[in-house]
Amino acid sequence: MTLLPPPRAEQRPYSYERHGIRVEDPFHWLRDPLYPEVKDEAVLAYLEAENAYFEAAMAPHKGLVETLFEEMKGRVKEDDASVPIRNGDWLYWWAFTPGAQYRVWYRKPAAGEGPEQVVFDEPAAAAANDYFRLGALAVSPDGKLAATLVDDNGSERFKLRIRDIATGRDIETVTEVGIGEPVWTADSRGVVFTEVNEHWRSYRARLHWLGRPTDEDRTLYEETQDLGFSVGVSKAQDKSLIFLATGDNTTDEVRFVPAADPEAAPTLVSPRKTGRHYSCDAAHGKLWILTNDDHVNFRLAEADVAAPSDWRTVIPGSDRVYLTDVTAYREHLALSQRVDGLDQLLLRTYAGAETRLPFAEAAYSAAFSGNPEFAPASYRLSYSSMVTPGTVYDYHPESGELEVRKVQEIPSGYDASLYTSERLMVPARDGKQVPVSVVYRKGFPKDGSGRLFLYGYGAYGFAIPPSFSTSRISLLDRGYAYAIAHIRGGDDLGYGWFLDGKLDKRTNTFNDFVDAAKGLVAAGFARPGRIAAQGGSAGGELMGAVANSDPDVWGAIVADVPFVDVLATMLDDSLPLTPGEWPEWGNPIEDRAAFALIRSYSPYDNVRAQAYPPMLITGGLHDPRVTYWEPAKWAARLRATKTDDNLLLLKINMGAGHGGKSGRWEQLREVAEAYAFVLTQMGGA
């Protein structure tokens, strides 16, 4: 089959000038001026042409996509269910029915016998729309009502509704532009929530009393001081306080109101200080505060609720131990740490005695999860590694028992003994040692003849855990090794690892990824040109940067919702995320040096006349995080500039946003498409 020529976007003269430098942007017109609505006929025609080209290019490989999809689906337990967890008088859990895309949420009485109740039926709620996402589900303290947040188009503007659990009917719509987690008042009569404005910025926290008109809702806090700050709400583990937090990527400020008196004047914990993060929980009349004020890896402090700004150190900061989270229960502080890049979970009594929960593997992912009560009899946690399926444990502090409650079932079968994983330390060009987690099927050749799939993110301090994936097995069984590069920009090796990959150190992230690939070549996992790379969002920016800098290293690149028009986006403070992103990337509007640096690596602005590897680029028409025109403009410029005949595909989900299609099978099919693209371009199919 001969593929017809790819779409060619028209180049229209457009340029702008900043700091005395003129920047040409011939594909600027792909941004519909009416955004977030997209109605420009020429724009839609180009996107549809790209989608048609994608379908035509993948048509000969539908059999492979279907094979991969069925393999992946066969590893998913169709009637999967969570382990019930107690919250008040009820046990709560979710379950899928065979074939269902979405789950149903249930509960039953915790004590004695009683019928199970449906709390929320996602399949029923999703039936009327092509896209569905349940963003939050919060049951009132009296157990009668549920606050739900639903997105039905991928725009991440959620409808907040109140549901009567007994009847299964929604009785109120509170807002259609909600976001985050709603929080109930202590008496179950009101709900505190956050809203986004027309620029999709979470700018205020409001209180709604049930039964009252929404125009009577009271604003508890609105961010007016800093355009880039986002507002969020949460509830203390002991249920006494509702926290009203505001902040950006570098700075936090927290207030609280009593959950029993939410209309009281909010109490400020401590005023914002640029560069200082802090978060709070409450128990035993004290605030428990995690902060990086005197050590980059955070310390734990306490303060009396009556004097919240007087912080006293409980656990000092450490060069080796990175404190990442704390939850205050009645008997213990549950501490999450990272030591040498590996998760550590500890329970600490208020007298100071610590117990570290034991895990035997050399590389793994572990976290406390699903512990809503203040005084649980045991602590729920999750665990997996790159070879060990997800496992749910209950840790019993009285006996020290780590009780297995669930092991991820793989219906089509899985033999962990067939696979092995490694954790390598690969030298970067500046001498730093970059951790790389690798998994492969035993017998994989380390003579350079194999194929490698390398994943990276590297931004916002998000660590990519070395956890289990059933989909990944389809690559491993076709002779690929799969690796995760724990590059700077993430906080895998501590908060300083994050700081070393942002602002004027941003290029460390790109260099680390390339150097990790070259280190894996040196270790025999592949040779240049036999490495597939994948990243999404900020990881898509990474894909664009390394495609420009080292195109010969890659045999194929998958860039999902890629943040690639970095310069233009950071220059546009009308876009939803831009002001809040300046602490991460720099402000090129005011800072000439930031402008020059971003311009030097922005993937769209650095496309050049050279050969590029085969590339699959995805986007979402309703994506508020990475707007659709970023991948569209990038693909258009690549088509107009590159010198090779390698396949370049652009797929824009016309009814979805940042996360791609909704529903577990639709998401799985998109993974199958990405893997099929790699296999057909690099071999192994």
537 annotated active-site: yes
Cβ-contact 248, 228 below 8 angstroms: yes
486 annotated active-site: no
Question: CA–CA separation, 531 vs 528, rounded Å?
Answer: 7
Question: CA–CA separation, 296 vs 277, rounded Å?
Answer: 10
Question: CA–CA separation, 679 vs 64, rounded Å?
Answer: 9
Cβ-contact 484, 437 below 8 angstroms: yes
Phi, psi angle pair for 538, to nearest 5° = -65, -30
DSSP 18: E
Q: How many CA atoms lie within 13 A of 502 on its CB side?
A: 22
Q: Which of 25, 152, 623, 662 is catalytic?
A: 623
- Count Cβ neighbours within 10 Å for each residue of 190-200 and write b for 16 or more, e otherwise: bbbbbbbeebb
| Residue 654 exposed, middle or buried by CB count within 10 Å (0-12, 13-18, 19+) | middle
Structure tokens at 363: 């590389």
Q: Which of 270, 471, 537, 662 is catalytic?
A: 537
Question: CA–CA separation, 442 vs 417, rounded Å?
Answer: 8
Structure tokens at 390: 């997800």
For CA atoms 435, 440, 444, 449, the dihedral sign is negative
Residue where the block lists tokens 């089959």: 1
Residue where the block lists tokens 């008196």: 261
623 annotated active-site: yes
The edge-to-edge listing of strands for the beta sheet with 615-620 is 419-427, 433-441, 480-485, 451-455, 531-536, 554-560, 615-620, 648-653
Question: CA–CA separation, 132 vs 125, rounded Å?
Answer: 8
Query: Which residues are designated catalytic?
Result: 537, 623, 658
